[in-house]
């Protein structure tokens, strides 16, 4: 579920929203790295500055989700999205996945505005990514048929480790992590699927999971170890960034 076997072209075709978000991450990073604009221009105008939001610059409740403080920050958050986003985009569909991702990030940024001082500044997609974790948790609690027992255990373990590390690592926007997770969980718990949509989703997920199971079983142990290592590195990188 969290290992990628698709080619680059197939990945873009199957997971367009994840691909677009990563392209935006990379695009903003490149724009802050070239000399056409002063390096600080995007941070001054798009980062989450609570004081400016209170003065009416409400776009800053969304734009910080796509801005990062450096290459490492951008790389690890994009890595995390590549690992944990595709399965959820396939289950929910692109439109619903985008809604969950953006609204989770928005909730995290609103909570940061309300609970942090006016001078507080933040960037990064961690709140939205934690929203994906929260949505997975809701699926485990309320829609157990949509995830295998093994994948549920992986998600629960990652969430517990992520929450613990959130409070141990310095320079972490703890509010964004917690409320992004809570926002994603609440969105996943809301029964917004009607019966037909939900049953169709279950059938589609079962077919997709069966296909993935057969493909994963054919992978070599070395590939599984490599992808497990990448997942661990991505989680640590996500938690080490503000």
> What are the beta bridge partners of residue 48?
122
CATH of range 8-239; options 1.20.1540.10, 3.30.1480.10, 3.90.800.10, 2.60.40.1510: 1.20.1540.10
Residue 217, pLDDT > 80, answer no
pTM confidence score:
0.77
CA atoms of 47 and 43, how far apart (whole Å): 5
pLDDT at 229 over 80: no
What is the mean predicted confidence (pLDDT) over 7-13? 92
Catalytic residue selected from 78, 162, 177, 201: 177
Q: What is the mean pLDDT of residues 46-69?
A: 94
The domain locations on the chain are 8-239
Instruction: Tally Cβ neighbours within 10 Å of residue 149.
Output: 9
Catalytic one among 126, 199, 201, 211? 126
pLDDT score for 242:
46
Answer with the residue of higher pLDDT: 24 or 222.
Answer: 24
Q: Which of 39-48, 176-185, 215-224, 231-240 is predicted most confidently? A: 176-185
pLDDT band with cut points at 50, 70 and 90 for residue 86 = very high
Is residue 177 part of the annotated active site? The answer reads yes
- What pLDDT shows up at residue 145? 78
User: How many other C-beta atoms are found inside a 10 Å radius of the C-beta of residue 47?
Assistant: 18
- Mean residue pLDDT across the chain: 81
For residue 126, indicate whether it is catalytic: yes
Judged against a pLDDT cut of 90, whether residue 234 lies above it is answered with no
DSSP state of 62: T
The 8 Å CB, 24+ separation contacts for 16-21 are: 16/94, 17/85, 17/89, 17/94, 17/97, 17/98, 17/101, 18/81, 18/82, 18/85, 18/86, 18/89, 18/97, 21/66, 21/81, 21/85, 21/101, 21/125
13 or 162: whose pLDDT is higher? 13
- 56-65, 173-182, 220-229 — which is least confidently predicted? 220-229
């Amino acid at each position: 579920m969290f290992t990628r076997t698709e080619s680059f072209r197939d990945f873009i075709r199957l997971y367009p929203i994840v691909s677009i978000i990563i392209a935006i991450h990379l695009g903003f990073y490149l724009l802050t790295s070239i000399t056409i604009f002063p390096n600080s221009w995007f941070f001054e105008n798009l980062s989450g500055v609570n004081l400016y939001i209170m003065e009416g610059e409400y776009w800053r409740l969304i734009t910080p989700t796509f801005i990062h403080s450096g290459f490492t920050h951008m790389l690890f958050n994009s890595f995390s999205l590549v690992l944990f986003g595709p399965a959820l985009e396939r289950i929910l569909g692109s439109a619903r996945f985008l809604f969950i991702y953006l609204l989770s990030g928005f909730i995290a940024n609103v909570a940061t505005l309300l609970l942090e001082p006016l001078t507080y500044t933040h960037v990064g997609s961690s709140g939205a990514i934690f929203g994906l974790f929260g949505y997975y948790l809701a699926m485990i609690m309320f829609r157990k048929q949509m995830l295998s027992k093994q994948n549920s255990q992986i998600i629960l373990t990652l969430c517990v480790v992520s929450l613990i590390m959130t409070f141990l690592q310095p320079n972490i926007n703890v509010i964004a992590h917690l409320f992004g997770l809570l926002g994603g969980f609440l969105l996943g718990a809301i029964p917004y699927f009607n019966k037909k949509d939900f049953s169709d989703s279950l059938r589609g997920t079962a077919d997709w999971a069966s296909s993935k199971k057969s493909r994963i079983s054919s992978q070599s142990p070395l590939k599984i170890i490599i992808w497990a290592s990448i997942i661990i590195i991505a989680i640590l990188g996500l938690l080490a960034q503000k």
